[in-house]
Amino acid sequence: MERTADAAGCTIFDKSGRILLVHQVYGKKKWALPGGVVENGESSWEAAVRECREEIQIEVTDMSLSGLYFLSHRNAYVFIFRANSFSGIPTPDGIEIDEYAYFDLHDLPKPMSNFTIQRIQDAALFEKNVYMREQHVNTYVIE
pLDDT tens profile 57-113: 999 999 999 999 999 999 999 999 999 999 999 999 999 999 999 999 999 999 999
Q: What is the pLDDT of residue 128?
A: 78
- Residue 60 to residues 90, 136, 138, 139, 140: CA-CA distances in angstroms? 12, 29, 33, 31, 29
User: What length does the chain have?
Assistant: 143
pTM of the model: 0.95
Per-residue pLDDT reduced to its tens digit, 1-35: 899 999 999 999 999 999 999 999 999 999 999 99
State the Cα–Cα distance between residues 60 and 118, nearest whole angstrom: 22
The CATH number given to 7-138 is: 3.90.79.10
Q: How far apart are CA 83 and CA 95, in angstroms?
A: 23
Answer whether 110's CB lies under 8 Å from 38's CB: no
